[in-house]
Structure 1
Amino acid sequence: MSGFKIKVLHQINRIKMASFAEQLKAIQLKKNSEPIKDYSSPKLGGFMKQEEIDEYQNNVLDVNIETWFELIKEHSFPSTFLHISSEEAKLFVKIYERHYANLEPEVIAYTNWQNYLSKEEQYVISNLSERLQDKIDQFIEQERGFVFVKLSGRSPKDAPMVQSQFKTIYMQHLMKANPSDRFNENTQIKCLLQANFESLQMSSSQEVLDACLRSERVYQDMLLALAVPERFRENFIIRKFVNFDVDMEFRGFVYNQRLTALSQYNYLIFSERLKNERNFYLKLIQNFFLQFIAPKLEHFVSNYVIDFGVSDNGSQVWVIEINPFLITTDAALFSWEHERHLLESAGEETLFRVIEKPRPGAKAMLPFGMKQLIKTLDLEASIEES
């Protein structure tokens, strides 16, 4: 077994697919009392069989953006691709393992990988940075505005949480809230999500590389891609940054090419708008999927998890990304363990779930590092107001 296969073996139970919201939910995962066959479950301990790892890896690679973007590109964000070589991917893995593996977010935030590159590594990074900047500049000239950069599988969404600008943006949004709401859990988590989202606006290759090299998600995805050399096809995906509210993201579940379920994506927050207009958004996304997406993905994989974004008060619906129909993909307000029969339903109805009221104790569901961030910034805000 290759070195990268062994690393994937150790990482596979830690992979959290696709979302910031999922990082928040991951701490709730508990070990099953009964054995299950879903090899990709992060609830399983120990090692898995090699054939199970191979199948898992292929299921993930089957929904990388290169497999679906051309089919529905007019319904997703304008994008351009820049190839990443296997040697560059190996360097990403090496840098992450050397500086950031198993470290707390606050330590990662202040550990500068650039200070410890060898001359050979500096050359590789410099060359990649120049190529990426050229691509970004060309794209910005064409599309105008900022870009959002992800990789073939996922984005470095975890990186903004450990960068200083994230704290600044969070405080800016918190200060815009009514003073009486600033210590409200729902308000604080909304500000966290909005800060995380806006931190992904970029215009320079240095920002992109810094985020990617600090990202555990990117590290995991590079490990997976390198473990299947015959299918290695990694790219930077340079996408137009489209701003929409954090309650306007939705996660859909497609089984046998039918949209079986839909959920509020950022499920730690309560949205009055979603509660009051849930039927409008359900019909909007159902119609969009049936009219524009399902026919064009007829020959795509039959089962997948698809993320939608809604902007301009419902006048525009976007496909954000597609994820594998696996237990490692966050089920949002559904449960893979207890409600798989709903996600795999053959009925005509699309189940739609939103948060019906503010969730007391939602802050307790945040990872430790995020709770500490809120605690620290709450103290700073209190001092400023006094």
Structure 2
Amino acid sequence: MDSNNTIEILREWYDGQLLKCCKTVYFNVEAWYKIIQSETFYTEFIPISPSIAQALVNFLKVRYTSEKLLNFNDIQLIVSIQNQLKEQIFNSKTNKFHSNGAFIRLSARSPNDGKRIDSQKINQFYEQKLNEFQFQYPNEYKSIKDKANMQIIASCARVYHDLIQALDCQKVIDNKTDNINNIELHNWNNNIIAREWNNLLDPSMKFRCFVYQSNLTAISQYNYCCKYYHLQNDTIIQKIKTTIIKYWHEKIQPLLDPWFEKYSNYVIDIGLIENKSTNKYDCIVIEMNPFETTTHSCLFDWTKDNNQLRGQGNEIEIRVQLDYYPNVEDYVESIPDINQCDEKNNSPSDHPSKEPYFIFLDKMKTHLSS
């Protein structure tokens, strides 16, 4: 392959990254949170510089691909963001979160947060692993709550891909590569985001709602792999549908319509929390995503249900899972680990990707010092 072809491929790559950024930038938490702040979880932001983003990318590459890109400066940057996270979010004297705590995500996407499949068995598994961890790493155990949140970031493929995309776009802004098609550029704005956790929000009561041309068109059960028995009751389903429609019309549409150019088409996840005193549902916005095929359509299909999703159906349609999802065990990543609890002579893997991130980080620091 000659140099001209290589340059052309690189240009196409960066153009693709810029176009992805243009489609998603208004759906990063920083963009929509300030507009609908009153209707969602309390949130705090810890800025990530391009240098910190690159350090995290280098760490993930070293840990999972064995590419030797990590240096002392990268390690210092990762430790600094870990300390900032601990101080700003988990310091009991300064944090503004309620007793429920917070969950961590990045600007574009979040790791999946859900209740356990089998609480008793998972708890046994968790306690067993925690005891093993305490014995193996006694000095680190005291601060595990703080570091457990960085563990999510430092072991997530989504984080890796999102940061790569953001860094590629920044290279264009820094004029390190050409923007030959004059695609709109957006200033760097990436954060580690802490959002207040709400124990009252049951995962079965999360719904993905589709809005096209500022009209609510469809509602889907979010956890589409699960059949929930209370969602087999048509009266409950209609109550949920009515509640979401009313909430969206009265609370969300008035906030987003003034920003029609950015938020005429979108996908919004809404959680319903049962209010025992009123026998009604309270609603809260979980997150927003672009009205694009890159956003999961849950129980709808972007192609087959195109007319419904784009408002050409007779009415707003709600879908819930009525059947057991085929081969659902293939989608539950924790099952192999859980089953290992029942096996004798079970031993942890020695692969570095199985270690806590901070143990691996310390090993890299020692290696670089030698």
Q: TM-score, normalising length from structure 2?
A: 0.70
Match of 1:327 among 273, 293, 299: 293
1:316 to 282, 285, 290: 282
1:274-353, aligned counterparts within 5 Å?
274-276=231-233, 277-298=236-257, 299=259, 300-313=262-275, 314-346=280-312, 349-353=315-319
* Alignment CA distance shift 1:101-1:353 (3 Å): farther
Report what 1:241 is aligned to: 197
Q: Distance in 2 between matches of 1:82 and 1:249?
A: 27
1:214 Cα deviation from its structure 2 partner: 0.2
Match 1:59 to one of 23, 37, 46: 23
Is the contact made by 1:363 and 1:371 (CA closer than 8 Å) also made in structure 2?
Answer: yes
SS in 1 for 2:111: coil
Shift of 1:82: 1.2
One-letter code of the match for 1:332? Answer: C
Q: How far apart, CA to CA, are the structure 2 residues paired with 1:338 and 1:347? A: 13
Any conservation in 1 of the 2:208–2:269 contact (CA below 8 Å)? Answer: yes
Equivalent residue for 1:256? 213
Q: 8 Å contact 1:263–1:332 — kept in the other structure?
A: yes
- Alpha carbons 2:17, 2:169 under 8 Å: kept: no
Preserved contact between residue 152 and residue 236 of structure 1 (Cα < 8 Å)? yes
Q: Is the 8 A contact 1:65 1:152 kept in 2?
A: yes
CA distance 1:50–1:141, shift in 2 (3 Å): closer
Q: Give the equivalent residue in structure 1 for 2:39.
A: 75
2:110 equivalent to 1:155: yes
What amino acid is the match of 1:130? N
Q: Aligned to 2:264, what secondary structure does the other structure show?
A: coil
Matched-pair identity in %: 28
Question: Equivalent of 2:50, from 63, 76, 86?
Answer: 86
User: How far did 1:205 drift?
Assistant: 4.1
Shift in CA distance, 157/304, structure 1 to aligned 2, threshold 3 Å? same
The correspondence for 2:329, drawn from 352, 360, 363, is 363
Verify: 1:209 aligned to 2:150, yes or no. yes
Separation in 2 of the partners of 1:101 and 1:328? 26
| RMSD (Å) for aligned C-alpha atoms | 3.2
Conserved 8 A contact 1:270-1:359:
yes
CA contact (8 A) 2:97 2:196 kept: no
How many angstroms apart in 2 are the aligned matches of 1:71 and 1:360? 40
- Cα pair 2:55 2:70 within 8 Å, conserved: no
- Distance of aligned partners of 1:65 and 1:175 in 2 relative to their CA distance in 1, 3 Å threshold: closer
Residue deviations 1:187-236, cap 9 Å, x none?
xxxxxxxxxxxxxxx99542222110100011111112112224321011
Contact 1:140/1:147 (<8 A) preserved: no
- 3-state SS, counterpart of residue 149 of structure 1: strand
1:39-65 deviation digits (Å, cap 9, x = unpaired):
xxxxxxxx9776454322210112111
Identify unmatched segments of 5+ residues in structure 1: 1-5, 11-46, 103-115, 161-165, 177-201, 381-386
Amino acid at match of 2:242: K
Query: So what's the TM-score if we normalise by structure 1?
Result: 0.67
Secondary structure of the corresponding residue to residue 95 of structure 1: helix
Deviation at 1:267, TM superposition (A): 0.9
Q: CA deviation at 1:240?
A: 0.8
Q: CA deviation at 1:171?
A: 5.3
Q: Does the Cα contact within 8 Å between 2:56 and 2:78 map onto a contact in 1?
A: no
SS in 2 for 1:100: helix
139-148 vs 350-359, which deviates more? Answer: 139-148
Q: Which residue of 1 aligns with 2:119?
A: 172
Whether contact under 8 Å (2:217, 2:310) holds in the other structure is: yes
Q: 1:127, CA displacement in angstroms?
A: 1.6
User: Equivalents in 1 of 2:112, 2:335: separation in Å?
Assistant: 18
Aligned counterpart for 1:127 among listed residues 80, 96, 103: 80
Residue in 2 that maps onto 1:182: none
- Equivalence map 1:16-31=2 (5 Å): none
5+ residue gaps, structure 2, are: 1-5, 124-142, 174-185, 345-370
In structure 2, the residue corresponding to 1:331 is in which secondary structure?
Answer: coil
Q: Which amino acid aligns with 2:103?
A: F
Counterpart Cα distance in 1 of 2:50 and 2:36? 28
Displacement of 1:141 in angstroms is: 4.5
In the other structure, the counterpart of 1:273 is 230
Question: Matched residues in 2 for 1:126 and 1:148: separation?
Answer: 19
Summarize the Cα distance change of 1:363–1:141 in structure 2 as closer, same or farther, 3 Å threshold. same
State the secondary structure of the residue aligned to 2:288: strand
The 3-state SS of whatever aligns with 2:204 is coil
Out of 58-67 and 142-151, give the one that drifted further: 142-151
